[in-house]
Amino acid sequence: MWHGLRFARKIVRQCAALVASSFLLLAICTAHARILHTRPTPSETWDPLLPFTIGSGIEFETNSESSQYNFPFLLEYNFTEPLRITIEPNIEHIHAKAKDARTVTGFGDLETALEYEFVRERRYRPALTAEGVIRWPSASDADIGDPGRDYSLGLIASKDLVFIDLDLSSMYTFVGDSNNRDTFEISLAGEWHLNYRFDVEAEIVYGIGAGGIRGQPGTLAGISPASPGTDLTEGTVGIAWHASKRLKIEQGAIFRSDGTWQIVFAWEWSFSGE
C-alpha cells in the first residue's frame, strides 16, 4: 500500500514538473504575438462560438549605446466574421551601455486596430481588408514612447495559393509627433507551408517618411539610428511551428537597411482553432 502511495506521489510530481516546464517554455517563447507586420484576415480567426485570439512575444535589439527588450501582448476579438478588433499593449526595457544613456523599464504605447474584410477570397480573387490603426501615447516614460497620437489607414490583399499564402498591403500613417513627417509603407508577406506543422515566413516592408516602420519597437524607443525623413527597408524571415490546432509558435529575425537587426519570438493561442 505504502509503495503504491509513493509511486502515485512520484507520478504527480513528474506531471507537475512537466506542466511547469511547459508554461516556462511558453514564457520564454513569448513574442510580438506575430513576427510579421501583416495580420491574417478576420475570416481566418472567425469562430461562431469563441472568436478570440491571445498571444505575446519577446523582441530584442541592440546597438553600441543600448539594448532593448520589448514584451508585446496580443488580444484579438471578432465581432462578426469580417469585423475584428486588435489590442496590443506592451512592456519595454532599455538597458543603457553608454554613460549618457538611461536604463528604463515601463509600459510602452498602446496600439489598437479595427479591420473589416469587405471582399471575401474566391478562386481568382484575393480577399480585401481595410484596416484602421491608432497608436495611443500611453507610455510610462518619454524614452519608451512617442509623443502625439498616430492614425493609420491601410488596405490588405490576401490570396491563398495552396502551398503559399501571400499578403500585399499598404499603410499611410498620420504621425502625431510634430517633429516627424507622415509615413507611407508597402509590404509583401508570404507563408510557405512545408507541411501541416511547419511554415517558412518572410516579409519585406518599405517605409517612406519617418525613418521607421509602423509597430517597429526600435522606432518607438528611439534606438534606431535612422533620422526623421529617412526611408527604411525591413526584411523578416522566420519559422512557424503549429504545435496544435490552437497554438502557433514563431521565431525569426528582422534586418533593416539602416544596419540594425532584431531577434523576435512569438506565440499565439486561437480559441477558434485552425
Q: What is the pTM of this model?
A: 0.79
- d(CA 188, CA 197) in angstroms, rounded, equals 23
Q: What is the predicted pLDDT for the residue at 190?
A: 96
Torsion over CA: 156, 161, 162, 166 (sign)? negative
Q: Residue 122's pLDDT is what?
A: 93
pLDDT, tens only, 80-110? 999 999 999 999 999 998 888 889 999 999 9
Structural domains present in the chain: 31-270 (2.40.160.40)
Q: Which has the closest alpha carbon to 169: 35, 39, 34, 33?
A: 39
So what's the pLDDT on residue 227?
55
SS3 16: helix
Pairwise CA distance, residues 199 & 163, whole Å: 10
* Angle, CA of 210, 149 and 189, to the nearest 5°: 55
d(CA 160, CA 61): 33
Assess contact for 151 and 158: CB atoms under 8 A: no
Phi and psi (nearest 5°) for 64?
Answer: -70, -20
Sequence-distant (≥ 6) Cβ neighbours of residue 99 within 8 angstroms: none
What is the spatial distance between Cα 20 and Cα 23, in angstroms, rounded to a whole number? 5
Q: Identify the segments of the chain with pLDDT beneath 70.
A: 1-33, 210-229, 274
* φ and ψ at residue 33, rounded to 5 degrees: 0, -25
In the chain, what are the helix, strand and coil shares in percent, each to the nearest 5?
15, 50, 35
CA atoms of 147 and 192, how far apart (whole Å): 38
Please give the pLDDT value at position 255. Answer: 93
CA–CA separation, 153 and 81 (whole Å): 20
pLDDT of residue 66: 86
